[in-house]
Amino acid sequence: MDSLHFKQSGLINPKLTSICDICLQRGEKAENFGNSTIETFAKTLLYSFVGKKTNEEQESFFVKTKQDRKSYEAFLQDYDGNEIAEQQVSRKKFNQAIIDSETGKIDYLPDQGRDFQYNLEHLGLKVDFQLNEVDFIDRERIRAKYHYRCQYCGRRGHSVDHKDPVSLSHNNDMDNLILSCSECNRIKSNMPFKLFKKLNDQIPEINQKLVKYENALGTLQEEFEHRRRKLAGQVHLKGVINDPELNAMRKQNKKLQDAIDSLQSDYDALRKIRENHFNTGWKIAQENKQSDII
């Protein structure tokens, strides 16, 4: 379980409790339980420890079987890492659903073989994961407004993107919409717009190179398709497969294909470097916001 479940917030001197927030919400008293792991953390970090002091680990679980405990922990981790769920279902309500499941008030145990939404629904929790309500006409307006060009990298784009992720803002207004390529849309995902723009502004040269690669590859691929069709037409007219002129055309096409493959490889390598730049920046931002024990 994430350490946030054992750390009391809003205190000048943080306190760590021997039991998690779910057990506290159940009405249990931390003073009645020992937890040598949390106690050790508290001593190391000079935090207060609320719990029974003990030299031995005293294991006493409300959920008796290890497999069931794993199921609840996996379900809890799904919630902790899902911003859409956290916005629509309060932690208190989520914890209560777990308590009701553990006590049998709700006759359902989260199933690790099912997806998160299925488990939520069977515990009486409703989350709308489909928040994108932009219709076809508005999408076409955005594409025309930005001339089918990604507003992040400059390459050709068709993906209508929410500046502030719809999972965070629920904002489908036109001023929150922008055009991106599918790659930028995928990389940005739920990243805040200001952070994505900040990271993107750090690599203008890379974005310019990506546009040049895309244009060059597009031109070469068009030329290759033109030559391929011409070769097929000559084969049809001559009625033969092996012919000096045809073989010379095939040789030229092979050289062109090799050039395309080499350029595509360099292009993909640069795209990967760019993606890693965003992923690293996003991970650092998330780590800085992490509410862990330390």
Q: Over the stretch 235-270, which tens digit does the pLDDT of each residue have?
A: 888 888 788 889 999 999 999 999 999 999 999 999
| Domain-ending residue, one of 181, 201, 221 | 201
| Domain-ending residue, one of 162, 177, 201 | 201
Q: Are residues 181 and 166 in the same domain?
A: yes
> What is the residue range of 165's domain?
136-201
Place of tokens 């390529």: 181
The pLDDT tens digits for 37-88 are 888 888 888 888 999 877 655 556 777 788 888 899 989 988 887 777 888 8
Which is it for strands 15-17 and 159-162: parallel, antiparallel or unpaired?
unpaired
Give the DSSP H/E element, type plus range, for residue 218: helix 204-238
Q: Are residues 223 and 271 in the same domain?
A: yes
Residue 60 covered by a domain: no
- Does the predicted TM-score (pTM) go above 0.75? no
Residue 130 covered by a domain: no
Average pLDDT, the chain: 88
Distance of CA 129 to the CA centre of its chain: 14
**How far is 180 from 162, CA to CA, in rounded Å?**
10
From 27-31, 189-193, 202-206, the region with the lowest mean pLDDT: 189-193
The predicted structure's pLDDT at residue 242: 82
**How far is 91 from 101, CA to CA, in rounded Å?**
15
Residue 58 covered by a domain: no
CA nearest 40: which of 73, 24, 16? 16
Q: Are residues 284 and 225 in the same domain?
A: yes
Q: Are residues 209 and 195 in the same domain?
A: no
Place of tokens 């208190």: 92
